[in-house]
Amino acid sequence: MPAYQQNTCPDSAYGQSQAEYGDENWVPEFAGTVEKPSPQPQKMPEPKLPAPQRIAALIEGLPGQKEVLFGIIDFCRTPQSPLDVDERTALIRANRRSVYSPVVLRKLLEEAGALEYQEAEVAGASDDESESTEGDDDPDYLVVTLKPEGKWLATADGLSAVDAVDAYASLRELLKEDSGYCDVYLEILGSCAQSPRTQKELDVLVQNNPSTRSPRKYSGYFIDRLEANGAISWNQGWTTTKPGEAVWQENQ
């Protein structure tokens, strides 16, 4: 037997000895014990936050979608079909681009606990669709009746988040925190209070204000913040809301 094939382990470590077999291809059966690795402790899933905290985190994480999200919740104070919610979503964000489709926004609100989907009740049906056969001469004739569509409804936590928003206080806080551009905000509010304005019109207004030149600020900077704080909304143009008009009047 070649040296590299010779058994160097004592026979006592195995159930049989090589001498019993006299076979150079003999492979001994190990009779000892093999220590198994101790199982690793499984990581416990993180506890789910309460709905109010999840809703607040969603709004904070998507500040540019705040008005849209709150608008969807407010619209669903009464049960609404998915199509109606989609149309309302498109209306709210008529002049803004978004990577989030209406379906995704509904899903985010549902996961946060702000919306819930109510399945349509169908008497005697338990599956997604009920089937029945008709016709005496053709047993293969099949009629499929689809399950009626459900409705979206705002939860109590979702409505509480919407109702807790104080647009007046929020706008005053914005003017205080961004005081260096207070005159620009007020100028936009005053202009949009007179008549709806396009973004191009607000571009001209902002560019003509010396305080926006260094560092350079564009109209989108101010529009996003005013909209997020409920001071302006899109209605065939940017229009000052009641809270926005009230705060504008306070500063005249």
Q: What is the pLDDT of residues 180-202, one digit of tens each?
A: 999 999 999 999 999 999 999 99
Domain boundaries, the chain: 48-165, 166-250
Determine what percent of the chain is predicted with pLDDT higher than 70: 70
Of 220, 186, 190, 189, the C-alpha closest to 203 is 220
Residue 3 has pLDDT above 60, yes or no: no
User: What's the average model confidence in pLDDT over 215-221?
Assistant: 91
Lowest-pLDDT range of 36-45, 74-83, 218-227, 231-240 = 36-45
- Nearest C-alpha neighbor of 171 from the set 252, 220, 240, 230: 230
Average pLDDT, integer, range 66-83 = 92
CATH level 2 (architecture), domain 48-165? Orthogonal Bundle (1.10)
Tell me whether domains 48-165 and 166-250 share a fold.
Answer: yes
pTM over 0.75, yes/no: no
Q: What is the pLDDT of residues 12-27, one digit of tens each?
A: 444 555 555 555 555 5
Mode of pairing for the β-strands spanning 232-234 and 238-240? antiparallel
> In one letter, which amino acid is 15?
G
Phi-psi region of 248 (alpha: psi -120 to 50; beta: other; left: phi over 0): alpha
Residue whose entry in the numeric block shows the structure tokens 């705040």:
66
Question: Which residue type does 115 have?
Answer: L
CATH number of 166-250: 1.10.10
The average pLDDT across 227-248 equals: 88
Q: Is the pLDDT of residue 45 over 70?
A: no
pLDDT at 194: 94
Res. 133: pLDDT tops 50? no
Arithmetic mean of pLDDT, 41-55: 79
DSSP string covering 184-243: HHHHHHHHHHHS-B-HHHHHHHHHTSGGGBTTB--HHHHHHHHHHTTSEEESSSEEE-HH
